Amino acid sequence: MTNVGGPAYAARVRALLRTFRWIPLALGICGCSSGPEPQPLPPPPSASGSQGLGGLVEGAAGDSVASIPGKPGAPYIYRFRQSEPPSDRFNFQDRELNFYFKPAPDALYIQIENRQNRPVWIEWERSMFLDPNGRVHKVAHNTTTFEDRFKAQPNTQIAGLQRYGDYLLPWGYLIDPGGSPEQLHIPLLPEDSTSPNYTDRVFGVDLAMIVEDRPRTYTFRFRVASVIPAR
């Protein structure tokens, strides 16, 4: 059996990943009629990567602007629905913030727009991720590595009237990369013969923010609406 955490395995992963073309991250999701549409996002610093050996992912695959999430050639296609708060456009806004989402098999992509001319912060240490198996984790994002598992993650500031793009995944999905600096993790949802078993599963985040110097938690949930064979 392959040793996932060993240097040899990590070398094989890196060699395989170099054979793939990098795909830029973009959130091709429309906002609601009362808010501005999100702009395409450049890839976060460590978000470029591809589906890795044995179903592992380096960083996040960086879903393209295509409407169908997932890697090319996957045997099944996932369809998602935002169940909390309900939205057919994967977004939510209030007076201070606009949230846009793109669920995908490898991670949950997010864009946050600060609508006010004063900074807000994401509190990663208070945020939680509910995985598709019903387990609750801390939230990992594009700069989180396996070595950070015993460290406190610093808050992320979103300056006034600015947008912030990232991807989120369960902290417990991080894998030891065997001494390499890459962020290696298992995908949020499998893209193999087991995919149909995830129909109707729910996952999401409780995203802790500091808005106007007060803590506030935003809860978002997503449901796997269907899993269909790829044509």
The strands making up 174-175's β-sheet, listed across from edge to edge, are: 57-58, 184-185, 174-175
Structural domain range at position 175: 7-229
State the pLDDT confidence band at 132, using cuts at 50, 70 and 90. very high
State the pLDDT confidence band at 61, using cuts at 50, 70 and 90. low
pLDDT at residue number 231: 82
Residue with tokens 């600015």: 162
152 falls within a domain: yes
145 falls within a domain: yes
32 falls within a domain: yes
Does pLDDT of 170 surpass 60?
Answer: yes
Q: Name residue 1's beta-bridge partners.
A: none
193 falls within a domain: yes
β-pairing, 97-103 vs 91-93, is antiparallel
pLDDT at residue number 69: 85
137 falls within a domain: yes
18-30 burial, b for 16+ CB within 10 Å, e for fewer?
A: eeeeebebbbbbe
pLDDT at residue number 176: 96
Tens digit of each residue's pLDDT (9 = 90 or more) over 138-157: 999 999 999 998 999 999 99
2 falls within a domain: no
16 vs 62, 114, 181, CA distance in Å? 17, 38, 16
1 falls within a domain: no
Residue with tokens 């979103």: 158
pTM of the predicted model, to two decimals? 0.76
Does pLDDT of 67 surpass 70?
Answer: no
Domains contained in the chain, number = 1
pLDDT at residue number 146: 95
57 falls within a domain: yes
Does pLDDT of 29 surpass 50?
Answer: no
| Burial (CB count <10 Å: 0-12, 13-18, 19+), residue 218 | middle
